[in-house]
Amino acid sequence: MIVHSQVVLFDQKLDGPQGFFVRPADDKTYPGLVLIQEWWGIEPHIRELANRLATEGFAVIVPDLYHGQIATEPNDAMKLVMMVRENFERALSEVKIATDQLLAMPNVSGKIGIMGFCMGGTVTYKSVERDSRFAAFSPWYAGGYAPTAEDVAKINAPVLAIYGENDDGIPIVQIKQIEKLFADAGKKGDFRIYPNAGHAFNNPDHGMYAEDAAKDAWARAVAFFKHHLQ
């Protein structure tokens, strides 16, 4: 499927584009997805994921939470992540602006979802707590997310949460606690912990790629969004 891509400007007060939008290159209406970067920024891997989602029949908007910066080394990525953490309310507001813009795009249906990776997985969880417009969401290896029962109670969309068993930064007990909070609240949740996979196992560019887990998790995510958004 041929896709159409364009840069988007969310905030006139910031210099330059703050993200991009990609959709199938025809006049049909498609469900929308907000895609949140991992800690490297809007690197080629994130653009490739957005294009893959577009070929599956989604209109995808990708807000650039780093405002044009891309990390190539872990130390640089950590500095950029800290910038987002220190300005977390701004990051969430930028996701909301992107969501508003996605829903205003022509040929985007009213049903939208959100997915994010690493830091973007945590942003995904917190965005869904605040925004009831999301009909489904999929956070991948979202480190640092430690919700309360009150946080989970705010969520009204089904979740497909993806983790790696060998992720040193996200203990299994922490994942199980989140899963229990969702179950206790009666929320629809599918929490997948992939064996022989660590953090960022879907990214082929930084040495953590686990092919079998990545292929299975990606197929599940695409099917999950097709089921809940179409």
Sequence spans of domains, the chain: 3-229
Superfamily of domain 3-229: Alpha/Beta hydrolase fold, catalytic domain (3.40.50.1820)
Tens-of-pLDDT digits for all 230 residues of the chain? Answer: 666 777 665 655 555 447 899 999 998 999 999 999 999 999 999 999 999 999 999 999 999 999 889 999 999 999 999 999 999 999 999 999 999 999 998 899 989 999 999 999 999 999 999 999 999 999 999 999 999 999 999 999 999 999 999 999 999 999 999 999 999 999 999 999 999 999 999 999 999 999 999 999 999 999 999 999 98
Whole-angstrom Cα distance, residue 72 to residue 141? 20
- 27 φ, ψ to 5°? -100, 10
pLDDT tens-digit series, residues 92-137: 999 999 999 999 988 999 899 999 999 999 999 999 999 999 999 9
Whole-angstrom Cα distance, residue 148 to residue 182? 10
Q: Count Cβ atoms below 10 Å from residue 226 Cβ, excluding itself.
A: 15
- pTM for this predicted structure: 0.94
